[in-house]
Amino acid sequence: PDALKALCLGLNGASETFPFDAETSVFKVGGKIFAISALDSDPLSVSLKCEPEIAVRLREAHPAITPGWHLNKRHWNTVVLDGTLPSSLVRELIDHSYDFVVAGLPKSQRAELQG
């Protein structure tokens, strides 16, 4: 949980909020969600935004990646962090989610994050 939180908060402009309850961390950039996790859950999981075509391929290739739980299944995957996925892939998925959300922000916000 600490490593997941550190990865998410280590991204430029990222913040952690608790809009749903005190247990569910919601990580945002530019006011938009890129990751959701109940950091005390067992097994630990994180829901990440993803381009729809990539989301489907990831689900087909990895049993630990499923359609987003209680989220738009087209754009969200839930990733179970049970040790079956390489940590490098988990980092790539977090980065992809962050980048996907940043790409949808207004130009001025994107420039601020890059500058």
What does each of the 115 residues of the chain score in pLDDT, given as a tens digit? 999 999 999 999 999 999 999 999 999 999 999 999 999 999 999 999 999 999 999 999 999 999 998 898 999 999 999 999 999 999 999 999 999 999 999 999 999 998 6
In angstroms, the CA 22 to CA 25 distance is 8
Pairwise CA distance, residues 101 & 13, whole Å: 12
- What pLDDT score was predicted for residue 93? 98
Q: Are residues 34 and 25 in contact, defined by beta-carbon separation less than 8 angstroms?
A: no
Is this prediction's pTM over 0.85? Answer: yes
Whole-number pLDDT of residue 69: 84
Over the stretch 53-78, which tens digit does the pLDDT of each residue have?
A: 999 999 999 999 999 988 989 999 99
CB 48 within 8 A of CB 96: yes
pLDDT of res. 70: 86
List Cα–Cα distances, 30 to 56, 77, 104, in angstroms: 26, 21, 10
